[in-house]
Chain A
Amino acid sequence: MIGMGENILYALPAVPLGTALLAFGIRSRRVAEVVHLAGISILALLSLILVRDVLGGQRPFVLDGMFFADELTAILLLLIGVVGFLNGFYSIGYMRHDLAHGEVKERNISFYYGFYHLFLFTMVLSAISNNVAILWAAVEATTLGSAFLVGFYHHKTSAEGAWKYVLLCSIGLAFALYGTILTYSNAFSMVQDAHKAMLWTELVNMAPHLDPQMMKLAFVFILIGFGTKAGLFPMHTWLPDAHSEAPSPASALLSGVLLKCAFFAIIRYYAIALQAVGKGFPQTLLLIFGLLTVGVAAFFILVQNDIKRKLAYSSVEHIGIMATGLGAGGALGVFAALLHTINHSVTKSLLFCTAGNITMKYGTRDAQKIRGMGKVIPFTAFMFTAGLVTVAGSPPFNVFVSEFMTLTAVLRSGHVWPMIFLLLFLVIVFVALILLISETVLGSPPEDLPRGEVNWLTLLPFGILFLFMAGLGIYLPAPLNQLLQGAVSVVLGGK
């Protein structure tokens, strides 16, 4: 395993793809679980090895540079590997519960694991692709890979959610394809080399010479396109439907990791646009979209009753914060946005998984009906509270750190009013989430509800995610800091 060099770039997508194919073929639930567990473990391990390699200064390229890894890739793979592992682990307990309660059939369990790994495969592919067309195709494939996870339950609502998800994201991504084509033809007319004009690493190098008019248009298309997938306002409407209808661990993966895949695609083009058309244009766009997103999401978090929809809107809000961070720009802003992706992944995974346990216990997602969680399922309730407090942006947890950095970055960029608006929106979110805690966690539970946690197997990932959440709130480990600094200089062209 040690010292795989460039082979790791083959191994990374191969493992989830292989696991997926294997899982589809297995009928026994037990065997499928074992295969699944092995798949997520190996993937997590591989992504950690890649992170180590990248930290060690390696820049693996394979297939004529079609696939590669830099610090940005490493961060995204870290999320896919680690968060994918924890959610995958949680899935086992969750699916067992669903099976026991007749929500799903035994055969469908292996389908679930199959699609889970297919989904992981497409995300890994989007992370490591250097070729912008493959990047696009991979992001589009993530939609297709995850559509069946969204529509996994055979409810009317899950079909509706899945429909909106696939349709809207496909349309959005068609825009992104236009952006990709525009960028390519722009670059091709410069270098006359079809292969090079598709490679992101080359595009960044030649960015200062690209036609600025055309790059502006391309960036707008990219922002609309990948922005749809990332959940930026006004293209976010599919997100709460899809994220609330999926099985909870899949929701966690959608919110925690998938949004970031699209967001990282935006970052890649942001890096090109910064040099091709200057700072002003991309930053202003991102700042406006980011702030609008935060504002609209804040309002919806307040008025929603369904806890998973609340969480989904909170994801929209956090994507808005990340976009605002990029919009503020500068090393601080980009650093804040990248750190925020990590923090949000960890926290939102925890929240969706706890929401899964809550739904299992109460049999509803309606915040008006969930009462007295602290007495019924104290451990889950504690994790849920901690998670909500975190996404509300309160110390001592990790999201506070990156939110504060984002605020500082916006202030540094001289946008006083946007910062004040951002603060106001964040207060609304804070109020909404604190309200949610005090309604659901405190109070007296329904009398006929037996006390006790749903499933002990599901609690282990909670603990680990909580440790990440609290740990990153207090300290930023040196390797992670180095990784983030490296990624910032990749984006801003310091190397």
Chain B
Amino acid sequence: MAGTSVVNALAVLLILTSMMVVGTKKLRLAAYMYSIQSLVLVSIFLSLAIFMRAEPLYIWSVTALITKTFLVPYLLLRTLKTVGDQEEGMTLKTTASIFLAVLMVALAFVVVGSFHTYALLKIKVALAVSIAHFLLGLFCILTRKNALKQILGYCLLENGSHLTLALTAYNAPETVEIGILTDAVFAVLIMTVIARRLFKGFGTLDTDTHTLLKG
């Protein structure tokens, strides 16, 4: 049982880091936060691999370490270099957003509570966290107006689903995981490329000003 509690504790840490990613105003800092958070994710994978004897997760943790802790933050930071560190505007006050974030975590726990499949019972907390994580990512994209912050939101979202995948489908064929990860990295890569072009065209990454196409 010790294993599950480690996993659950790490999962809570994950939520904290992701709230910090959402909450940090400096984009450079947020990117580093994301890197740290991915590290937590990797350690969850590792502990799951150890405690649940899920060998495939060793490979997962290695690939996640490479892509999420280093590659994705690197891509973001490189883009930041070209566009300059940006102060972002947001539509919600900090208190309100924290409140909403907590609400989402609660929602995730309620959703998970309704699952009955036996295999999932042991790691319910972690599962709820993964779903909450997904929702937080979504929340970040919806309420933050800076394009790079939205990319970070997408990364959170992606981390959430990655964790769900690890919890429920760690025994899936490796090809699947590789396919999904490749997609994620490419998505971030392409988004940063487009974000640079947005910056070139509009001189800002504030998506509220990108309104040439309407209706």
Q: Chain A: residues with CB nearer than 8 A to chain B?
A: 66, 131, 133-134, 136-137, 140-141, 143-144, 147-148, 151, 154-157, 159-164, 166-167, 170-171, 174, 177-178, 181-182, 184-186, 188-189, 194-195, 197-198, 211, 213-214, 240-241, 244-245, 300, 303-304, 309
Contact = CB atoms under 8 A, between A and B. Distances in A.
B87 interface: no
Contacts of B8: none
A272 to B, nearest CB: 17
Q: Name the prevailing secondary structure of the B interface residues.
A: helix
A171 B194 contact: no
Contacts of A154: 197
Nearest to B120: A185
Question: What class of interface size applies to chain B in its complex with A?
Answer: 35 or more
A325 B187 CA distance: 33
Given A147-B190, A151-B197, A181-B161, A300 B183 contact: no
Given A167-B150, A174-B158, A300-B215, A185 B119 contact: yes
B194 A162 contact: yes
Contacts of A241: 213
B115 interface: yes
Contacts, number: 132
Contacts of B115: 214
Given A137-B183, A140-B183, A163-B194, A174 B157 contact: yes
A144 B134 contact: no
Contact of B169 (A134, A156, A185): A185
Given A181-B161, A185-B119, A140 B187 contact: yes
Given A163-B195, A300-B215, A181 B179 contact: no
Contacts of B157: 171, 174
Among A177, A197, A214, find the residue whose CB has the most chain B CB atoms closer than 10 A: A177
Contact of A195 (B158, B173, B195, B207): B173
Given A159-B194, A170-B154, A178-B161, A133 B176 contact: yes
Given A147-B194, A159-B198, A211-B116, A177 B168 contact: no
Contacts of A148: 190
Question: 10 smallest A-B Cβ distances: which pairs?
Answer: A156-B201, A137-B179, A185-B168, A133-B176, A159-B197, A194-B171, A241-B213, A140-B183, A157-B212, A160-B210
Contact of A161 (B138, B165, B213): B213
